[in-house]
Amino acid sequence: MLQLLKIELYKIFKRPRTFIAFGVITAIILLVQIAMKFGGDEYVGLVMSGLSAAFDAPAQQVLNGYFVCFIILNLLLIHVPILVALIAGDMISGEANMGTLRLLAAKPVSRTKLLAVKFAATSVYTILLLVWVAILSLFLSITLFGTNQLFVARGLEVNIISASDILWRYIAAFVFAAVGLLTVASLAFMFSTFADNSIGPIVACVCVIIVFTILTQLQIPFYDETIKPWLFTTHMLGWKGFFYVEGSEGITVQGSIENLPAVIKSGLILLTYIVIFLFIASWHFKRKNILS
């Protein structure tokens, strides 16, 4: 199994297209960091101006590595799934398109095992991409901007989290984001088993993400109670729950999470999606006539 996983990873990381996502992420993060370095005070002033007058912190205190990382994650964790779909949507269909799927499927490896190894490789790629996001957005931001309290805006209010209470929240947020990205990866992967070219599964996955994201952001009460609670895009934002803390009048409780059950529920719904998508992929792939 490990040998097969190594082969799959070798194939993924020998393709130049694999590194497009890493390049795009690097460019976006560096652009945000450059902007914050040279115009961060102005940006912070803009953000804080809309908040309660009670929070009158100097921009230098607000602008730090944790704050920049939070901004970057808000930007990226909506768009990284599209980059994940580029690889996950190609895993089976790309082999069919190249004509190598028939060679693989005629080898003494069961189709279930082949699928499992390919999804494991997709997961490794997804997690490596997220680790790269973490290195650049968190650790490089800390290096460039230092550490301090984290100011998290929530409507007209602000949660202020002390510097010593932040790092574990980021680690938890990245783990949660990994589950969210694996949900997208499993969706693209499932589509991949149905097609003989890469474009179809990637486009289908991106379309689902766009439609679900639009529905998630629609402020219509009818959808709030019927559709939104079941969309995976709604729950992919659950990582923010680690930065919503208990407290009042600006004083927050160290180590607290305002609504831990909601965060756990979101995580479980995402895991359920992964199981469903992989089950459909496996059921279909085992019965598929390989004609390509």
Nearer residue to another protein within complex by CB, 3 or 219: 3
Backbone φ and ψ of 154, nearest 5° = -135, 95
Of the candidates 1, 7, 211, 214, which one interacts with another protein according to CB under 8 A? 7
- Work out how close the CB of 98 gets to another protein at its nearest, in angstroms, rounded to a whole number: 6
Could you tell me how many residues of this chain bind another protein (CB under 8 A)? 24
* Nearest approach, Cβ of residue 234 and another protein (Å): 38
Contact between 104 and another protein per CB under 8 A: yes
Spatial distance between the Cα atoms of 196 and 60, rounded to a whole number of angstroms: 54
**Nearest distance in Å: CB 10, another protein:** 8
By C-alpha distance, which of 83, 68, 163, 88 is closest to 130?
A: 83
Our CB check for another protein shows the closer of 3 and 248 to be: 3
**Under rule CB under 8 A, residue 10 binds another protein:** yes
Q: Is 285 in contact with 193 (CB distance < 8 Å)?
A: yes
| Interface map 42-81 toward another protein (x if CB under 8 A) | ----------------------------------------
- Which one of 107, 221, 222, 248 is in contact with another protein (CB under 8 A)? 107
CB of 101 vs another protein, minimal distance in Å: 9
CA 292 to chain centre: 33
Work out whether 168 is an interface residue with another protein (CB under 8 A). Answer: no
| Contact call for residues 40 and 63 (beta carbons, < 8 A) | yes
Q: Looking at beta carbons only, is 98 or 207 nearer to another protein?
A: 98
Q: DSSP 3-state assignment of 154?
A: strand
287 sits near another protein (criterion: CB under 8 A): yes
Residue in 188, 189, 190 with CA at minimum distance from that of residue 280: 190
SS (H, E, C) 185-216: HHHHHHHHHHCCCCHHHHHHHHHHHHHHHHHH
